Every structure is written in structure tokens, then in C-alpha cells.
Structure 1
């Protein structure tokens, strides 16, 4: 029995990694042991990431360096804390993520085998978008890794890629400096793979939910062609659309990353304020460049998810319009009531949430920017 379960699991895994929109992310997470298997790489990466994060926290409590260095290292601290949080979330909720991916695989196959040219074309576009997003995110992540690791080489004073401290050890003297530096160079690409793959996987799954909403709209509008069919056949199709709509909402509500979004929202909002302040007090081109790059990274990390989350809300809301476009006045009352149920459900669009409280949207992203800028102006007034 166990062997059959393992074989079935392996088959599902092979099918998932062959899906372009999620294949790269799942392969990376599997290689590092976060999904579908446990291996030494999982314990190696998590233990090193945790160690680095602890030493970063210690550094932030004891450092007396300049404000610009503290802000830069605070950004690195949040980035690594978020990386560790994502890793532990995958470890402790592996079963939920694997079930979610298994359900996703079934829904993907149902669209792929639909023999509908419109849906097939939409699926092809989503695969291309998801794959390209993963590749671009990974490329940008690796370029950032290269920048983090080489920046200390060109600095005027001896420094590490990330502020890190172990009590009783001076990390800036030989040979501890070289040990710290090599350790951080080794852990940086590992953290990049953990962080970027997780984010790309989430973005691709939101893209797929958008695709499902568009497919539902297409099928609802196609019901007009079946108005003259038997009532039983038409009722069956309407009920299928209701079940499919429910499936979209259930898939998104099953997400276990809402509190990761909350941590990102709070931390990156605070850091954005700090980085704007850093630009204001920057005295050198290097300081200004670093702050600008880090702000760009915050925008790219948050805006991508909020953009697609807003699209999901919009497309799931359009289901009501598609249902209303059916010639509902020409069908029997029981079927009209089913269509009305579908429209009423679509009035509350499918949304991703931040901390199970706030819906992820471009409006919330704008609120984050406004709040960060307000606190920045207050901080600058006190500093001046």
C-alpha cells in the first residue's frame, strides 16, 4: 500500500514539474528538500539560514554604526527573516502544500484536456507568463546575490555582506572576518533559491486562479448556445459552473501564506520609510545607489503579488457579468435561481488576504506607499 502511494505521488510530481508555470519553482524546492522529499540539503540550508538570522538579530542589538549602515542591514535582516519564515512554513505544512499542488494538477489537466481553443490559448499564455516570471525573478535574484557578495570587496573599509555578530568574536579581524565572509557567500545563493522559488510559485498559482476565472466567464457566455437544448442538459452545465466557481474560491482560501504576506507588509512598509530617509541623508553616490536598488527590490517583490492579486479579484468579479449575459429570461425559473446564486457569489470577489484581514490589492499597496511616505516626512522633520 505504501509503495502504491509513493508511486502515485511520484507520478503526480512528474506531472507538476512538467507544467511550465510552476515547474522551475517546484523543482528547486524539491531539490532543497522543502517539497516531496526530505534530504540533507533541507537541514543544511535551514540551519545555516537560521544561524545567519540569529547573528543578524544580535548585530542589530549591539551595533553602533552609522544610520545608513543600520538601515541597510535592517533590510537584509528582514529579507533573511522572511526567507527563514518561508522555509519553516514549507517544512511544517508540507502536506498542505503538496495537497494544494495535487489539486492544482487536477484542475490544470481539466483545462488542458478541455478541447476548447479559447481556453487552450489562454492556458498557453498563462504558462508562458508564469515561466518567464520565474526565470526573470531567478535571474534578478542571482544578480542581486552577486552584488551582495562582491560589494564588500570594493568598499573603502572592511565590511561583511550582511551585518552579523557572535558575542565574544570580532567579525572584522582575521581570521574570523574570512570565516564570516565565506559563510555568507555560501548561504546567499541558497537563500536566494529558497526565497525566489517560493515567491514565484505563489505568483504562478495566483495566475492560474485568474485563468480559471477567465475560463469560467468563457463557459458561462457559451451557455447561450445551449439555451435550446434540453433543460436537464442546460441545468447540468449551470451547476457545473457553480461548482467550478466554488472550487476557485476554495483553492485561494486554502492558501497558508496569508501571515507571510502580513510580515512582508509590515516589515517592508517600515523599511521603505527607512530607505527613503536614507536617500535623504545619503552623502555618497554608493549610498544613494544602494538605497535606490533596495527600494526597487521592495517594489518588485511586493508589486508583482499585489498586481496579480488585484487581477484575480477583478476577473472573479467579472464572472457576475458573464452570468448576466446569459439569456436567463428564456430559461426555466429553477435555472434562473441557480444563475442568480452564481451572480450573488461573484459580488464578493475571490481575494488573497494579508493576515486574513485585508484583501491584497493595488489600493492596499498604494496605502502602504502613502503611510511609508508620511512616516518618512515625519522622520525627516525630526532629523532636521
Structure 2
């Protein structure tokens, strides 16, 4: 009996040693792998497939690019990722590694509500903001990301109280921060950030009086300041996340403004740790601008589109994606593509008001499946939210998924 136990003990010890060795080798492989690719090491060809789809089915330069083929291919890729993820899949393995440390990708949004308390406009904009935040926490890899909500000091106190209560569990885990957009403070922070350049420009020597007027344009300044300091991905407050954005972490990017030759920055990504060529854009905009008003004007997508953003053909300062990936209803709204099907959105008001949706048929994965985000375009969708709308069903879905109070 003693010999039997002794032999089994040896086998068990050998087994533990083998497990430890396999774990060590796997971790080192993941570390080395993540220096070039940020996905699970069981599917190393996924990024190549994504790039291939961008070149063919989702080519931003071809007017013949079809929405159903583009998003269909991206949906297939999403399904392949799900199939390749094991039951005990560790999401932290997908994080970017920089200087042998996990790199947190910061996400940012900016929003303002100036409408009268409890007015239709107030309630609608408040629910839009909640939808943005809930969609982020429902879709993103929280092991690798953190969300900042940026606001001006006069933002409604009541809404802040609701956000603090509703998202308390994320705030407690340091996954969510509510911050004032204070240029003086941010300019000082910029000085201590390794890759940040904002503090060098005249912007940080100006009188920083920010008016409540023209807040849409002000958001153009907000996104470029916070992304210079913290990096990451910015979304407008009326954008909802549809899936993980880890395909996008490695490049500075924007997307095409519908069918025009302009770029759009409603979703904007900047990662200076991997590519600091974006500083050339900052120089072009911030160096010569003599006033805050001029800076904001020069940061409008129309103005940015007139800049020469390509360092050379192989290394563009901004990677420009097709609008199908972030704003999939836009080309239909502009009359450039046909409806995908009778359930698909074409007019922006259809998301919240004009289209009746059968709740039994609602499936978030079928709503422009393959796209990273959906842009509501607040100015085009009114203030009403019907109970049988996509807006309401997404709201219900995210709240249930997150188990919010």
C-alpha cells in the first residue's frame, strides 16, 4: 500500500511540474505574441483576416463596396473568434502588451445637456448617454479597458448622481471615471505624460473660458485633447458600441464621412505608444492657431479633411475605415445604398421613433451585425422614444445584461 501511494505521489508531482512548465511556456508565448498581435494566441491569423476584409469587402476607396458583403464578412469573423475561444478563455490574454506591461486602452465620451430639467430634450439626451455607457460595459473587454466620461462643470448634477449610482460597481473597480473637461488641469497633466504634446502649444497658454454655446464643435477639441494625453478611443455620446473594439487598438483611425471625401471623427482612435505619427496632425492644427475658436474650427472634420494626413502611402497618419464599420445607416440615409432588409434602419428616426420592431425578433447581433458601433445622429432623430423601438429594446437588453440597479 505504501509503495502504491509513493508511486502515485511521484506521478502527481510530475504532473504538477508539467502543468507548471506548460503554463510558463504559454505565458511567455502570449507575452511575445502580444508584442505584435493582441488577440488570443489560439487564433493568430485573425488580424490578417480582418485586414484582408478591409482590403476587399470593406474597401473604403471603392464606391462599389457593398454593405451586406462588408458586414457579412465581419460577422463571419466575429463568429470565428467566438468558436475559437475556449470555455475557460482568459480575456486578459487579449490585452496589448507594452514594455512588458498590460496596456489599458482608455475609452472616452463627452456629452452635454442644456435642456430644461425633465423636458423631452433633457430626458432623451440623458437616455442617449446611458445607452452609450451601457453599450460600452456590455461589449468591451474590461480587463484591458477603462471608460472616461468628460463633461463641463455645469453638467446637470442630477444626471451625475444617477450615473454614480447606476454604475457604482464599475466606478468601485476603477473601470469608469467621470471627469470635468478643465483645460488648465489637462494642460498640466500633459506635461507629465510621456507621449503628450498638447502642453507645448499656444492652447495651453490661452485664457480658458469655455462657453456653453456651440458644444458640438467644442467636442471636437475635447476628443483631441484627451486622446493626446491618455490615448485610446473616443466616441460621441450618441454612439453605441456593438462589439469589442480590440481590432482597432493598434492604429490611429477615423472613418469616412458617408460617401464624401471627408473624414469623420465621431469615433476616433489614437495610440501613440504604437504610432506617434499622429503628432504631425497636432502640429498642423495647434501650432499656428491663435485662438480657441480657431483651434476648434480647424478640428472640425471638414477642416481636418483638407490637411495632408498621409506621411507616405504605407504609413498614413490616420487609417480611414469605411463608414459601414461605425455608422452603418448613413449611406442609406444619404440614398447611396438600399435597405439591407425591412428590419434595417435607413432614416435615423427609425431607431427610436418611426419604426415598430417586433420584440420577439429583436436580436442585437442582427442589428448591422459586424459593425463596431452605431451612430444615432442626434440632430436627425427627434426626442421621442417609442416602447417598441430599437432604442427601447437595446436599453432593456443592456440593463438586463449588466444587472444594473
Which of the five TM-score ranges fits, normalised by the shorter chain? under 0.3
Instruction: Report the TM-score when normalising by structure 2.
Output: 0.22
Structure with more helix by fraction: 1
Structure with more strand by fraction: 2
Which structure has the greater CA radius of gyration?
A: 1
Instruction: Report the TM-score when normalising by structure 1.
Output: 0.22
